[in-house]
């Protein structure tokens, strides 16, 4: 299922820049959800390989409290749980696997931290009203910013300008074509790493199941 969300995001990313209106937000949502599902899959594989509790799914520590994995959506807590299981059973992991799984790559560590910072509750990319300004291609700007825009240094300005009856500027919104660029790059990085980790652990610890 995680692969389907990732593949759907890649279809949107492959489209021409302006062919799909506001494509960045749903693309981020798809990648964010794929990241969570890859993490949960890898955690279940590691749990079943090393932990004999009789439970199908592991518990995850969130804020010092143990919660069922199915009720946890924060990638930070899920990632911490995965790393903890692998570290706790590192000796057995090294015996059973050919891959040097630990330590985790710093690029992935950073991506998880960044995702957690932008979307701790797992709803930022899901609901358009959550911190809406950050997710809109229309960025508010003041009249001073509008009149002082330097197109030679900053490029052409595309904006919606609202005037009163005296032709005075009362509101302006700049169109930003590079919405969520950094967030997309971070999510793509995390998703690619976790896809590989989830597949690798399944092959080496669960016979590909």
Domain boundaries, the chain: 2-136+180-206, 138-175
Statement: residue 16 has pLDDT above 80? no
pLDDT number for residue 40: 96
Q: Please tell me the pTM assigned to this model.
A: 0.76
Q: Which pLDDT belongs to residue 45?
A: 94
> What pLDDT is attached to residue 118?
83
Buried b (16+ CB within 10 A) or exposed e, 66-77: eeebeebbbbbb
Largest Cα separation within the chain, whole Å, is 78
pLDDT at 192 over 60: yes
Q: Within a 10 A sphere around the Cβ of 65, how many other Cβ atoms?
A: 8
Of residues 21 and 106, which shows the higher confidence score?
106
| Mean pLDDT, the chain, integer | 85
Per the listing, tokens 């050919």 go with 98
φ/ψ of 156, rounded to 5, equals -65, 145
């Amino acid at each position: 299922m995680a692969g389907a969300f990732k593949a759907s995001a890649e279809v949107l990313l492959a489209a021409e820049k302006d062919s799909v209106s506001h494509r960045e937000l749903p693309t981020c949502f798809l990648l964010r959800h794929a990241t969570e599902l890859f993490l949960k899959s890898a955690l279940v594989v590691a749990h079943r390989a090393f932990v004999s509790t009789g439970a199908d799914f592991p518990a995850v520590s969130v804020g010092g409290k143990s919660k069922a994995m199915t009720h946890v959506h924060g990638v930070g807590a899920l990632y911490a749980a995965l790393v903890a299981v692998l570290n706790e059973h590192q000796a057995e992991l090294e015996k059973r696997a050919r891959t040097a799984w630990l330590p985790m790559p710093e690029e992935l560590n950073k991506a998880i931290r960044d995702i957690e910072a932008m979307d701790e509750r797992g709803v930022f990319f899901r609901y358009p009203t959550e911190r809406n300004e950050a997710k809109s291609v229309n960025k508010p700007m003041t009249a001073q910013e509008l009149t002082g825009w330097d197109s030679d240094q900053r490029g052409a300005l595309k904006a919606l300008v609202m005037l009163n009856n005296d032709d005075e500027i009362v509101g302006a919104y700049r169109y930003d074509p590079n919405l969520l660029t950094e967030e997309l790059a971070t999510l793509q990085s995390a998703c690619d790493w976790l896809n590989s980790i989830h597949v690798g652990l399944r092959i080496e610890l669960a016979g590909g199941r």
